Structures are given as C-alpha cells and as structure tokens.
Amino acid sequence: MIGAPTTGAPGAAYGVGMRVLVTGGAGFIGSHTVIQLIAAGHDVLIVDNFANSKPTVINRLEAITSKHLPVHEFDLRDTERTERLFAHEQIDAVIHFAGHKAVGQSSQEPLDYYQNNLGSTFSLVRAMTLHGVAKLVFSSSATVYGANAAVPMNEDFPTSATNPYGWTKVMIEQILRDVAVAQPEMRIALMRYFNPVGAHPSGDLGEDPSGEPNNLLPYICQVAVGRLEKLRIFGDDYDTPDGTPLRDYIHVEDLAAGHIAALVRLDSTDRAVSTWNLGTGKGTSVFEMLHAFERAVGRTLPYEVVGRRAGDIAASYADPGRANTELGWSATHSIDDMCTDSWRWQSRHPNGYPDA
Ligand code: WQD
C-alpha cells in the first residue's frame, strides 16, 4: 500500500533519519543536495548512469561527508532494474534530479529528451507505487513559466514552454499531479529552480558541464581560467536597467537546502502536490554577474556584446514568498558568494573533474 509505514531508522516517519534515494546524485545539484541530506541526519543512496556526470564525484562526496554512499549505476528507464532497487533497498523518499537538461540540445534531439526525461519518471514512479514509497521531490524548473510571464513569477502562473526540455518539465509536473489524484497518499513536491550557480565552499565540488557551456556562469568560469577566449554577451538592447537580461541566480547550496526543507515538509502536509519556487526574488543582469565575477577573480575579463540568443527573455525572477512561508526557507547567499565559490571550484579544477 502506498505510504505504508517504513521500517526505516527511528524517526523515519517524522522526516528525521529518512533513507533517501537521490536520482542523478552525481550531478551538479544532486551532489550538493546529497551533502546537505547527510548533514541533516538522513541516509542516502544514489542512482546515476553518469550520462552527464563523473564517478569521481562520488569519491568527493564520500570524502566530504565521511560516509559510504551506495551507488547504483543504471538508467532509470530500465524498469526491471528500477523495480529491483526498490524491492531490495529500504527507501523512505525520493529526490528525482536525473534527466537531460540542455535547452538548446533538446531542440535538436526532442525524442531523446521526451523519452529520457518522461520514461525515467514513469519507471521511477511505478516502482515507488509498487513498493509503497510515497514521498517524491521533483526537480522542475522556472522554464515552465514560458516566454511571456510577468515578473516576479509565482507558482499559480500558467505553465508552458518554448523548447522540448521545458515541455518535459511541464508534462512531468502534470503527470505527477494526475498520479496524485489517483494515489492521494502520495506527497509530491515540484521544485521550480531559477538559475542555479555557485559551488560547494570546499572548492572540491562544482558545476562541470560537458562540452562548451551554454549557461552564463560556467561560461564566465571557463573564460577566467583561459579555456575560452571571451564571454559573448547575447544582446544589451533589452528593456532592463543596463540593457542585458535579468535572471534570478541562486546558489546551489541554497537550492540544496530548499530540497531538504521540502522533503521534511512532505511529512507534515496533507496536500498531495505542492509547488515551490526556489529563487532569491531578485533579478541580476549579465553585466552585474560579469562584474561580480571579476571581483572574485581580481581582474577584468574579456567580453564582446553580440546579437541576442534565440528564445532569451528580458527578465525572469521568482516570487519566493510561498517557499519562505511554507518551508521556512529563503536564499541566503549573495551574488558575490556565488561568484567566489564558483571561482574557488573552477580555479582549483580548470578542466573540471578528472575522468578517472
Ligand atoms: C542567462 C543569461 C543569456 C550565456 C537556462 C535554462 C533554464 C535553466 C537555467 C534548467 C541570459 C546570457 C548566457 C552566454 C550570455 N536550466 N548569456 N552569454 O537561459 O536564463 O536559463 O538555464 O532548468 O531552463 O533555460 O540561463 O545561463 O543560459 O543565460 O550573455 O554565453 O545570460 O542571454 O540572458 P537561462 P543562461
């Protein structure tokens, strides 16, 4: 039966000491969330196929947490392997990060994005249902607000998308709402991230995109370490204070903390599905982010203003009020913190994680 009492560690029923399956736990946000789950007293097991992450991240996680982390390396679309994991492991809750996430790539490979992101979720939720695991935190995205949303964005806004990646998030949110109607014992959190940036303060963990970065901060990081020649600023003719687009950049440590808060809240809410923005509520421009990074590096960085990037919008930032009040959560790290922590990671790992 869904939600059957677990045989977990004492307190598992009350959100403390849960055994949490983290899908995509070797990824950027997943790995930072694993550290905070353990610090909060939970046990963690990870499933990752390392399609967009490296096994060495697990070694770093074990060094930072001083804990052995069980890792199951397989693709969640393998329904038999996924069901077997739930049959053999005690799991109280799931945080589901695993999925493809590159907006541009999704337009070139739509079938792969729909099959991977939706297929892995179908397989995961079926296994959860079969084995009575009722608590699910899903990694959604502010991209579900689409191209014409006003700012600040709140969770009651209509959802839409302008690319297959965004549509996978819109569709999975709807699928999970429908599952919750059929299985009202489910407790599901839809977490809408704005622009995750930053790195763990140790400097040993950070964002390591494969290939040339699409996103602003990893691109600036690679300019700063000399891997890329200069930052191309995609347009300075937007209707914003300095002409460059505004985004709600949020430190990955704040993002991770939001997941822990949501996970615990699922133990006390009687709502089957909750939706929470994870953002600072402030818009920061491209120039502001560039200059903050220059402060972290201690020198100016080369850039060139070029034409607008297709699909970009002038402003996107959160109304984080619901997460503030319902989760007791708010972002605490500043833009300068984000840049300082990103630079510590990138300067120590100019080429990202080693392959071995
Ligand atoms: C930010 C700003 C660019 C790169 C994307 C996804 C979204 C979410 C976060 C997953 C924009 C400008 C960027 C560069 C630039 N991911 N920029 N030069 O587009 O807001 O959101 O990542 O959920 O789904 O859409 O982030 O970092 O790509 O761009 O000038 O080389 O930086 O024009 O204004 P974005 P971004």
- Show me where the domains of the chain are located: 18-197+250-279
pLDDT value for 356: 67
User: What per-residue confidence (pLDDT) applies to 355?
Assistant: 86
Q: Which residue has the tokens 């610090």?
A: 39
298: Cβ contacts below 8 Å, ≥ 6 apart = none
Q: Ligand 1, atom 23: nearest CA belongs to which residue? A: 141
CB 58, CB 33: distance < 8 Å: no
Which ranges of the chain would DSSP assign to H, the alpha helix?
A: 28-39, 56-65, 79-88, 103-108, 110-130, 164-182, 216-224, 252-265, 286-297, 321-327, 335-348
Q: CB within 8 A of 351, min separation 6: which ones?
A: 227
Among 103, 216, 335, the mutation site with the greatest number of ligand 1 atoms within 8 A of its Cβ is 216
Q: Residue 134 has what pLDDT? A: 98
- b/e code 202-216 from CB counts within 10 Å (16+ = b): ebbbbbbbeeebebb
Q: How does pLDDT run along the chain (356 residues), one tens digit per residue?
A: 344 444 444 444 445 689 999 999 999 999 999 999 999 999 999 999 999 999 999 999 999 999 999 999 999 999 999 999 999 999 999 999 999 999 999 999 999 999 999 999 999 999 999 999 999 999 999 999 999 999 999 999 999 999 999 999 999 999 999 999 999 999 999 999 999 999 999 999 999 999 999 999 999 999 999 999 999 999 999 999 999 999 999 999 999 999 999 999 999 999 999 999 999 999 999 999 999 999 999 999 999 999 999 999 999 999 999 999 999 999 999 999 999 999 999 999 999 999 86
- Whole-angstrom distance, CA of residue 352 vs CA of residue 354: 6
Q: What is the atom index within ligand 1 of the atom nearest the CA of 213? A: 31
> What backbone torsions phi and psi does residue 135 show, to the nearest 5 degrees?
-100, 120
Say which of 14, 114, 145, 165 is annotated catalytic: 165
3-state secondary structure of 16: coil
Lining residues, ligand 1, CB within 6 Å: 101, 103, 141, 143, 193, 195, 214-216, 219, 232-234, 245, 247, 286, 309, 312
Q: What is the spatial order of strands in the sheet that 71-72 belongs to? A: 71-72, 43-47, 19-23, 93-96, 135-141, 187-193, 273-278
Å from CA of 311 to ligand 1 middle: 10
The pLDDT score that the predictor gives to residue 10 is: 42
Q: Are strands 187-193 and 135-141 parallel, antiparallel or unpaired?
A: parallel
- Other C-beta atoms closer than 10 Å to the C-beta of 356 total 7
Active site (annotated) includes residue 249 = no
The pLDDT of residue 16 is 63
The torsion defined by the Cα of 59, 61, 62 and 67, in degrees rounded to 10, comes to -160
Neighbours of 88 (CB within 10 A): 10
| Secondary structure class of 356 (helix, strand, coil) | coil
Q: Which ligand 1 atom is at minimum distance from the Cα of 220?
A: 31
Q: What's the pTM?
A: 0.95
Considering only CA atoms, which of 212, 244, 245 is closest in space to residue 229?
A: 212
CA 43: distance to chain centroid? 20
Position 98: which residue type? Answer: A
Q: Which atom of ligand 1 is nearest to the CA of 309?
A: 33
How far, in Å, from the CA of 216 to the mean position of ligand 1?
6
Residue with tokens 């070139």: 108
Ligand 1 centre and the CA of 111: distance in Å?
A: 23
Q: What is the pLDDT of residue 150?
A: 97
Does 3.40.50.720 match the CATH number of domain 18-197+250-279?
A: yes
Rounded distance between C-alpha atoms, residue 157 and residue 151, angstroms? 10
Question: What distances in angstroms separate CA 299 from CA 37, 201, 226, 292, 295, one per listed residue?
Answer: 36, 21, 13, 11, 7
Instruction: Please tell me the total number of residues recorded for the chain in this structure.
Output: 356
- Per-residue tokens: 223: 């300019």
Q: How far is the CA of 16 from the centre of ligand 1 (A)?
A: 36
> Shortest CA distance to 194 belongs to which of 135, 131, 258?
258
The 3-state DSSP class for residue 238 equals coil
Phi, psi of 335 (to 5 degrees): -60, -40
* Atom number, ligand 1, closest to the C-alpha of residue 245: 34
**Ligand 1 centroid distance, CA of 286 (Å):** 10
